[in-house]
């Protein structure tokens, strides 16, 4: 070891927890470096590269120092992946290795192109520290879970994790195991990917999907005159739908009300997350409880938390609808409320999409989605105020796309990039071919995959102005028994964006949600915010990440050429149906040639979310691709 290199942290006796903390720190550094250069908070053009591109140097002019990356990979779309050490060299030539994100930030913050909020850096460091601690915690759990699953798979005589699950569990339960398994990494590059400040280690393990958690929900009762319910047209009533969807729970709930002398018809059943109930609702809604607006005693139901942490599936052999809830926990730097916009717009957009699919044979054969059939929120009958209801609300999401009997396997996209318990390779390799397949098999697979994702996503956007947030968490792919991708399933419409002139031109209507202080999601004059929603979620956070994975696993450098060809073919197929050649050319240019807009997640955090829609541009990886 070079005697001039000093480590920024001592190495204590290696316990399982400390061993897990080391990769958590590397994970944090990798995410931080990627965001710093992608968002141009550090100028990527200032990097100095030798002939062999595994090393890079970045001058820090204000401090007269140099950052040295021993293994920094430069990939399409200004993607900088750090796989080695980071050192700082001072003007005397002494090197110091930066093992911790706090060390790196201390050295580079004077070079930033943004002005953080007064507490921006401190809050960022606190959330990164929380992320690293929780990442280490769940990786210890994952180690034991992996060993157990590997033994079960071998005992069952199966060669892969996905095939094992589909042979041993009902379709919806197999899909949920994969969904929880894919929760380990979270957002592909968010720098505070596992931050849950305020939760103890025991609570993180008990509540988090990546730990295979099971969580109780309390079925409370909200007075009907204090609730607003939004439903799809086929739903006759909130209570009628609930009684049909959860019959045993409905019976227990009505019995509990009757025992207290209450008439069930005057109330709505309202699920509340168990942690949220005990740590927030009892305190913050004490007046509503005392005045009899809210009854928090009632039956419980055991649920499986999905990748989002707060969308729950009843843990039953017989599939029942998902339940999406607010949880007053700060995760990835935001408190997970469920605002009125989600309650109103989820069922409305679900209705619009259902109507479109009923009439559009081409898209209907390529797309399924989790309809948000109804939702409810606390609504003051005197003032109409629904703002406090962001902590006392619910959206129900149908389960049909997971409860299958056609042999197709639903897999949440993030799970495809998670390490298999069998061999540690991404699960997507199991689907590409026996023993993971080879480069040609990966290329063929990716062509089919791109087609399955792009065709319905782009058709809904270009023909009807509806933008799916088709990132890894919201996208599920249906695979046939041979592992070939067949269809896209999309979820989560409460915050979906749409461009009204396009769907209105085809005879459809959508009542927008407008309220002071709430960002709009339906636009009439400028399509750019709708387009950027598609590019950020579907291209940057989804297909680009799959391309990176296949490039890493198979050396598939042509992945971006395949993606470009897929977009070109999609535009060619849709051109006869688009409103004008001018619109076709403008959109084609935006997707294939212009820089890609994407959310500035690190800058938002540093600026303490003064602008939730701040974006930066990435070099379009398809612009120079043959």
Q: To which residue do tokens 């800058």 refer? A: 603
Helix (H), strand (E) counts: the chain: 22, 27
β-sheet bridge partners, residue 293: none
Alpha helices, H only, 474-527: 500-505
pLDDT for position 11: 43
C-alpha 402/C-alpha 117 separation (Å) is: 44
SS3 91: coil
Burial of 281 per CB tally in 10 Å (0-12, 13-18, 19+) = buried
pLDDT for position 611: 85
The encoded tokens of residue 213 equal 């958690």
pLDDT for position 179: 98
pLDDT for position 17: 65
pLDDT for position 221: 98
Which residue numbers in the chain have pLDDT < 70? 1-17, 333
Number of CB atoms found within 10 A of residue 125's CB: 16
CA diameter of the chain: 81
pLDDT for position 16: 54
- The contacts of residue 143 (CB under 8 Å, 6+ apart) are 16, 20
β-sheet bridge partners, residue 68: 57, 87
SS3 80: strand
The b-or-e profile of 394-428 (16+ CB within 10 A means b, else e) is: bbbbbbebbbbeeebbbbbbbbbbbbbbbeeebbb
SS3 311: strand
Phi-psi label, residue 379: left if phi above 0, alpha if psi -120 to 50, beta otherwise: beta
Question: What string of H, E and C letters represents the secondary structure of 441-489?
Answer: HHHHHHHHHHHHHHHHHHHHHHHHCEECCCCCCCEEEEECCCCCEEEEE
Q: To which residue do tokens 């909130």 refer? A: 238
Cα distance from N-terminal residue to C-terminal residue, the chain: 44
For 102, half-sphere exposure in the C-beta direction (CA atoms, 13 angstrom radius) is 12
Distances (CA, A) of 56 to 62, 68, 232: 19, 6, 55
Q: To which residue do tokens 């609702």 refer? A: 281
């Amino acid at each position: 070891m070079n005697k001039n290199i000093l480590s920024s942290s001592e190495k204590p006796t290696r316990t399982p927890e400390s061993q897990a903390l080391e990769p958590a720190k590397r994970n944090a550094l990798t995410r931080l470096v990627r965001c710093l250069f992608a968002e141009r908070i550090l100028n990527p053009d200032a990097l100095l590269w030798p002939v062999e591109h595994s090393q890079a140097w970045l001058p820090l002019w204000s401090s007269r120092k140099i950052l040295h990356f021993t293994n920094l990979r430069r990939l399409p779309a200004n993607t900088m992946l750090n796989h080695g050490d980071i050192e700082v060299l001072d003007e005397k030539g002494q090197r110091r290795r930066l093992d911790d994100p706090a060390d790196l930030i201390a050295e580079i913050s004077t070079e930033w192109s943004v002005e953080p909020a007064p507490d921006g850096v401190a809050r960022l460091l606190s959330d990164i520290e929380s992320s690293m601690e929780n990442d280490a915690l769940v990786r210890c759990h994952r180690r034991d879970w992996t060993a157990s699953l590997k033994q079960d798979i071998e005992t069952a005589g199966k060669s892969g994790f996905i095939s094992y699950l589909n042979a041993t569990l009902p379709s919806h339960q197999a899909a949920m195991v994969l969904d929880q398994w894919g929760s380990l990494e979270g957002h592909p590059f968010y720098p505070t990917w596992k931050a849950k400040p305020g939760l103890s280690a025991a609570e993180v393990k008990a509540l988090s999907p990546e730990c295979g958690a099971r969580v109780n929900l309390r079925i409370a009762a909200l007075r009907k005159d204090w609730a607003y319910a939004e439903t799809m047209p086929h739903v006759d009533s909130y209570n009628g739908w609930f009684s049909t969807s959860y019959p045993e729970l409905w019976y227990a709930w009505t019995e509990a009300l009757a025992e207290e002398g209450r008439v069930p018809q005057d109330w709505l059943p309202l699920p509340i997350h168990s942690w949220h109930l005990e740590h927030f609702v009892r305190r913050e809604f004490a007046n509503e409880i005392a005045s009899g607006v809210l009854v928090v005693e009632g039956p419980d139901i055991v649920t499986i938390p999905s990748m989002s942490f707060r969308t729950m599936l009843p843990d039953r052999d017989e599939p029942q609808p998902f339940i999406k809830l607010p949880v007053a926990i700060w995760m990835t730097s935001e408190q997970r409320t469920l605002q009125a916009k989600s309650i109103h717009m989820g069922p409305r957009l679900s209705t619009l999409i259902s109507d479109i699919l009923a009439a559009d044979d081409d898209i209907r054969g390529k797309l399924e989605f989790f309809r948000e059939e109804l939702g409810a929120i606390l609504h003051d009958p005197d003032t109409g105020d629904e703002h406090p209801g962001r902590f006392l609300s619910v959206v129900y999401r149908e389960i049909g796309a997971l409860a299958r009997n056609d042999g197709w396997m639903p897999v949440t996209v993030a799970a495809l990039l998670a390490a298999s318990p069998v061999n540690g390779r991404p699960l997507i390799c199991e689907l590409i071919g026996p023993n993971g397949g080879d480069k040609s098999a990966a290329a063929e697979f990716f062509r089919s995959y791109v087609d399955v994702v792009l065709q319905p996503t782009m058709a809904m956007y270009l023909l009807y102005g509806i933008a799916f947030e088709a990132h890894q968490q919201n996208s599920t792919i249906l695979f046939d028994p041979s592992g070939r991708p067949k269809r896209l399933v999309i979820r989560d419409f409460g915050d979906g964006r749409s461009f009204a002139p396009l769907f209105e031109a085809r005879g459809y209507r959508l009542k927008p949600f407008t309220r002071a202080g709430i960002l709009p999601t339906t636009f009439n004059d400028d399509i750019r915010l709708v387009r950027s929603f598609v590019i950020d979620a579907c291209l940057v956070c989804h297909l680009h990440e799959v391309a990176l994975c296949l490039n890493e696993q198979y050396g598939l450098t042509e992945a971006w050429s395949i993606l470009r060809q897929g977009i070109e073919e999609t535009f060619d197929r849709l051109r006869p149906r688009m409103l004008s050649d001018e619109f076709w050319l403008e959109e084609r240019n935006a997707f294939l040639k212009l820089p890609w807009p994407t959310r500035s997640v690190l800058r938002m955090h540093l600026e303490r979310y003064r602008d939730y829609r701040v974006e930066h541009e990435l070099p379009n990886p398809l612009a120079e691709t043959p």
